[in-house]
Amino acid sequence: MSNLYLIATPIGNRLDITVRALKTLFSVEILLCEDTHKTKQLLDFYLQSFPDLLTDKTIPQLISFFEHNEEQKLNLVLNFLKQDKNVGLVSNAGTPTISDPGFRLVKICRENKFNVITIPGPSAVIAALSISGLSSDKFLFLGFLPRKTGKQTKIWEEIKNSKLDQTVIFYESPFRIGKTLEHIKVVFGNIEITVARELTKIHEELVTAPISFWEERLQRPLKGELVVLFRSEK
Protein backbone atom coordinates (compact mmCIF):
# COMPACT_ATOMS: atom_id res chain seq x y z
CA MET A 1 0.00 0.00 0.00
CA SER A 2 1.44 3.35 -0.98
CA ASN A 3 1.43 6.44 1.21
CA LEU A 4 1.15 10.20 0.96
CA TYR A 5 3.79 11.83 3.19
CA LEU A 6 3.36 15.43 4.35
CA ILE A 7 6.95 16.52 4.88
CA ALA A 8 7.76 19.66 6.89
CA THR A 9 10.75 21.63 5.59
CA PRO A 10 12.66 24.59 7.13
CA ILE A 11 11.14 28.07 7.55
CA GLY A 12 14.55 29.70 7.03
CA ASN A 13 17.49 27.83 8.44
CA ARG A 14 18.13 24.84 6.19
CA LEU A 15 19.48 22.79 9.07
CA ASP A 16 16.00 22.66 10.61
CA ILE A 17 15.10 19.37 8.99
CA THR A 18 14.51 16.06 10.74
CA VAL A 19 16.48 12.96 9.81
CA ARG A 20 13.18 11.25 8.99
CA ALA A 21 12.18 14.13 6.69
CA LEU A 22 15.55 13.87 4.89
CA LYS A 23 15.19 10.14 4.40
CA THR A 24 11.59 10.48 3.20
CA LEU A 25 12.45 13.28 0.75
CA PHE A 26 14.85 10.90 -1.00
CA SER A 27 12.81 7.70 -0.73
CA VAL A 28 9.49 8.75 -2.29
CA GLU A 29 9.03 8.22 -6.03
CA ILE A 30 7.08 11.44 -6.53
CA LEU A 31 7.55 14.74 -4.70
CA LEU A 32 4.82 17.37 -5.06
CA CYS A 33 6.34 20.83 -4.61
CA GLU A 34 4.85 24.29 -4.32
CA ASP A 35 7.89 25.47 -6.27
CA THR A 36 9.97 22.73 -7.95
CA HIS A 37 12.96 25.04 -8.42
CA LYS A 38 13.18 25.95 -4.72
CA THR A 39 12.74 22.34 -3.63
CA LYS A 40 15.40 21.15 -6.08
CA GLN A 41 17.86 23.65 -4.55
CA LEU A 42 17.02 22.37 -1.08
CA LEU A 43 17.46 18.72 -2.13
CA ASP A 44 20.80 19.50 -3.78
CA PHE A 45 21.93 21.19 -0.56
CA TYR A 46 21.00 18.11 1.53
CA LEU A 47 22.59 15.75 -0.94
CA GLN A 48 25.86 17.66 -0.66
CA SER A 49 25.69 18.28 3.10
CA PHE A 50 24.46 14.91 4.41
CA PRO A 51 25.35 12.18 1.91
CA ASP A 52 26.09 9.72 4.76
CA LEU A 53 22.57 10.00 6.15
CA LEU A 54 21.01 9.09 2.83
CA THR A 55 20.91 5.49 1.68
CA ASP A 56 18.85 6.57 -1.31
CA LYS A 57 20.50 9.47 -3.17
CA THR A 58 18.17 9.77 -6.15
CA ILE A 59 16.19 12.99 -6.43
CA PRO A 60 12.54 11.95 -6.90
CA GLN A 61 10.36 13.14 -9.77
CA LEU A 62 9.38 16.70 -8.81
CA ILE A 63 5.87 17.79 -9.75
CA SER A 64 4.47 21.28 -9.37
CA PHE A 65 1.60 21.43 -6.87
CA PHE A 66 0.41 24.86 -5.75
CA GLU A 67 -2.75 26.71 -4.81
CA HIS A 68 -4.00 27.23 -8.38
CA ASN A 69 -3.31 23.76 -9.80
CA GLU A 70 -4.12 21.64 -6.74
CA GLU A 71 -7.61 20.74 -8.01
CA GLN A 72 -6.34 19.59 -11.44
CA LYS A 73 -3.58 17.47 -9.87
CA LEU A 74 -5.79 15.43 -7.51
CA ASN A 75 -6.55 12.61 -9.96
CA LEU A 76 -2.93 12.43 -11.10
CA VAL A 77 -1.79 11.94 -7.50
CA LEU A 78 -4.50 9.35 -6.79
CA ASN A 79 -3.30 7.44 -9.87
CA PHE A 80 0.30 7.47 -8.60
CA LEU A 81 -0.89 6.06 -5.29
CA LYS A 82 -3.01 3.41 -7.05
CA GLN A 83 0.16 2.40 -8.97
CA ASP A 84 1.83 1.82 -5.57
CA LYS A 85 4.08 4.86 -5.86
CA ASN A 86 4.84 6.71 -2.63
CA VAL A 87 4.18 10.43 -2.88
CA GLY A 88 5.60 13.27 -0.78
CA LEU A 89 4.20 16.77 -0.44
CA VAL A 90 6.30 19.81 0.51
CA SER A 91 5.57 23.52 0.49
CA ASN A 92 8.08 26.34 0.12
CA ALA A 93 8.51 26.50 3.88
CA GLY A 94 7.24 24.83 7.02
CA THR A 95 4.41 22.38 7.30
CA PRO A 96 2.33 21.69 4.19
CA THR A 97 -1.39 22.64 4.47
CA ILE A 98 -0.72 25.23 7.19
CA SER A 99 -1.62 28.38 5.19
CA ASP A 100 -0.25 26.35 2.27
CA PRO A 101 -1.73 24.02 -0.35
CA GLY A 102 -2.56 20.39 0.33
CA PHE A 103 -5.77 20.24 2.33
CA ARG A 104 -7.92 19.04 -0.60
CA LEU A 105 -5.32 16.41 -1.48
CA VAL A 106 -5.20 15.08 2.08
CA LYS A 107 -9.01 14.96 2.20
CA ILE A 108 -9.38 13.03 -1.04
CA CYS A 109 -6.54 10.62 -0.15
CA ARG A 110 -8.17 9.85 3.18
CA GLU A 111 -11.55 9.39 1.48
CA ASN A 112 -9.89 6.92 -0.90
CA LYS A 113 -8.40 5.04 2.08
CA PHE A 114 -4.76 5.87 1.32
CA ASN A 115 -2.49 6.41 4.32
CA VAL A 116 -1.58 10.03 4.93
CA ILE A 117 1.53 10.17 7.06
CA THR A 118 2.95 13.19 8.85
CA ILE A 119 6.68 13.90 8.89
CA PRO A 120 6.43 16.79 11.38
CA GLY A 121 8.85 19.68 11.69
CA PRO A 122 8.93 23.48 11.59
CA SER A 123 5.89 25.71 11.39
CA ALA A 124 6.15 29.48 11.84
CA VAL A 125 3.00 29.69 13.96
CA ILE A 126 4.29 27.23 16.58
CA ALA A 127 7.85 28.60 16.46
CA ALA A 128 6.57 32.14 17.12
CA LEU A 129 4.12 31.12 19.85
CA SER A 130 6.71 29.06 21.70
CA ILE A 131 9.17 31.96 22.08
CA SER A 132 6.59 34.76 22.45
CA GLY A 133 6.22 34.65 26.23
CA LEU A 134 2.46 34.63 25.65
CA SER A 135 0.46 31.84 27.18
CA SER A 136 -0.18 28.94 24.84
CA ASP A 137 -2.88 27.45 27.05
CA LYS A 138 -5.42 28.55 24.46
CA PHE A 139 -4.61 30.01 21.07
CA LEU A 140 -6.49 30.97 17.95
CA PHE A 141 -4.62 30.81 14.65
CA LEU A 142 -6.18 32.88 11.88
CA GLY A 143 -3.72 32.16 9.05
CA PHE A 144 -3.74 35.08 6.58
CA LEU A 145 -6.47 37.64 7.35
CA PRO A 146 -9.02 38.85 4.82
CA ARG A 147 -7.80 42.12 3.30
CA LYS A 148 -11.14 43.97 3.23
CA THR A 149 -11.58 46.28 6.21
CA GLY A 150 -15.19 45.16 6.83
CA LYS A 151 -14.40 41.45 6.89
CA GLN A 152 -11.35 41.94 9.09
CA THR A 153 -13.12 44.21 11.56
CA LYS A 154 -15.87 41.60 11.88
CA ILE A 155 -13.24 39.03 12.93
CA TRP A 156 -11.74 41.37 15.55
CA GLU A 157 -15.21 42.19 16.91
CA GLU A 158 -16.16 38.50 17.12
CA ILE A 159 -12.97 37.73 19.03
CA LYS A 160 -13.52 40.67 21.37
CA ASN A 161 -17.18 39.72 21.94
CA SER A 162 -16.29 36.07 22.58
CA LYS A 163 -14.63 37.30 25.82
CA LEU A 164 -12.20 34.37 25.56
CA ASP A 165 -8.83 34.92 27.18
CA GLN A 166 -6.60 33.50 24.45
CA THR A 167 -3.53 34.19 22.31
CA VAL A 168 -4.47 35.30 18.79
CA ILE A 169 -1.93 34.55 16.04
CA PHE A 170 -1.84 35.36 12.34
CA TYR A 171 0.50 35.52 9.36
CA GLU A 172 0.99 39.01 7.93
CA SER A 173 2.88 40.74 5.20
CA PRO A 174 5.23 43.62 6.13
CA PHE A 175 3.31 45.78 3.64
CA ARG A 176 -0.08 45.28 5.30
CA ILE A 177 0.75 45.11 8.99
CA GLY A 178 0.24 48.87 9.48
CA LYS A 179 -3.37 48.75 8.24
CA THR A 180 -4.08 45.58 10.22
CA LEU A 181 -2.85 47.16 13.46
CA GLU A 182 -5.10 50.18 12.79
CA HIS A 183 -8.09 47.83 12.61
CA ILE A 184 -7.04 45.98 15.77
CA LYS A 185 -6.62 49.28 17.65
CA VAL A 186 -10.17 50.37 16.79
CA VAL A 187 -11.58 47.25 18.49
CA PHE A 188 -9.03 46.41 21.22
CA GLY A 189 -7.41 49.80 21.95
CA ASN A 190 -3.66 50.35 22.30
CA ILE A 191 -2.87 46.74 23.28
CA GLU A 192 0.53 45.06 23.19
CA ILE A 193 1.39 43.34 19.94
CA THR A 194 4.18 40.81 19.44
CA VAL A 195 5.87 40.61 16.05
CA ALA A 196 8.10 37.59 15.39
CA ARG A 197 10.19 38.37 12.33
CA GLU A 198 12.54 36.26 10.20
CA LEU A 199 12.46 33.29 12.57
CA THR A 200 15.48 30.96 12.32
CA LYS A 201 17.22 33.42 9.95
CA ILE A 202 20.12 35.85 10.54
CA HIS A 203 17.84 38.79 11.34
CA GLU A 204 15.48 36.88 13.65
CA GLU A 205 13.82 39.17 16.19
CA LEU A 206 10.81 39.18 18.44
CA VAL A 207 9.45 42.45 19.82
CA THR A 208 6.45 43.05 22.07
CA ALA A 209 5.18 46.63 22.28
CA PRO A 210 1.95 48.69 22.28
CA ILE A 211 0.34 49.50 18.93
CA SER A 212 1.46 53.14 19.37
CA PHE A 213 5.10 51.92 19.27
CA TRP A 214 4.44 49.99 16.08
CA GLU A 215 2.82 53.04 14.45
CA GLU A 216 6.11 54.87 15.03
CA ARG A 217 8.30 51.90 14.03
CA LEU A 218 6.40 51.32 10.81
CA GLN A 219 7.45 54.72 9.50
CA ARG A 220 10.35 52.61 8.17
CA PRO A 221 9.03 49.50 6.40
CA LEU A 222 9.52 46.19 8.21
CA LYS A 223 11.37 43.65 6.12
CA GLY A 224 10.98 39.88 5.93
CA GLU A 225 8.42 37.37 7.08
CA LEU A 226 6.21 38.01 10.07
CA VAL A 227 4.02 36.28 12.59
CA VAL A 228 1.84 38.59 14.70
CA LEU A 229 0.48 37.68 18.13
CA PHE A 230 -1.55 39.30 20.90
CA ARG A 231 -3.54 38.31 23.92
CA SER A 232 -7.27 38.99 23.65
CA GLU A 233 -8.36 39.59 27.19
CA LYS A 234 -11.74 39.55 28.84
Interface with ligand SAM in residues 17-76 (CB under 6 A): none
Q: With CA atoms as reference, report the closest residue to 141 among 182, 117, 172.
A: 172
99 binds ligand SAM (CB under 6 A): yes
* Least Å from the CB of residue 119 to ligand SAM: 13
86 binds ligand SAM (CB under 6 A): no
* Least Å from the CB of residue 99 to ligand SAM: 4
196 binds ligand SAM (CB under 6 A): yes
198 binds ligand SAM (CB under 6 A): yes
102 binds ligand SAM (CB under 6 A): no
Nearer to ligand SAM, 91 or 132 (CB): 91
The Cα 153–Cα 221 span in angstroms is: 23
Per CB under 6 A, the list member of 225, 229, 230, 232 interacting with ligand SAM is: 225
* Least Å from the CB of residue 13 to ligand SAM: 8
Number of residues that bind ligand SAM (CB under 6 A): 23
Contact window for ligand SAM (CB under 6 A) among 16-24, 42-50, 98-106, 155-163: 98-106
The Cα 87–Cα 103 span in angstroms is: 15
Q: Which long-range contacts (CB under 8 A, 24 or more apart) does 102-111 make?
A: 102/6, 102/65, 102/70, 104/70, 104/71, 104/74, 105/4, 105/32, 105/65, 105/70, 105/73, 105/74, 105/77, 106/4, 106/6, 108/74, 108/78, 109/4, 109/77, 109/78, 109/81
Q: How far is CA 234 from its chain centroid?
A: 29
Nearer to ligand SAM, 125 or 184 (CB): 125
Interface with ligand SAM in residues 153-182 (CB under 6 A): 171-172
Say if strands 87-90 and 115-119 run parallel, antiparallel, or are unpaired. Answer: unpaired
95 binds ligand SAM (CB under 6 A): yes
Three-class SS state of 87 = strand
Say if strands 205-210 and 192-197 run parallel, antiparallel, or are unpaired. Answer: antiparallel
**Contact set with ligand SAM (CB under 6 A):** 11-12, 91, 93-95, 98-100, 123-125, 171-172, 196-201, 225-227
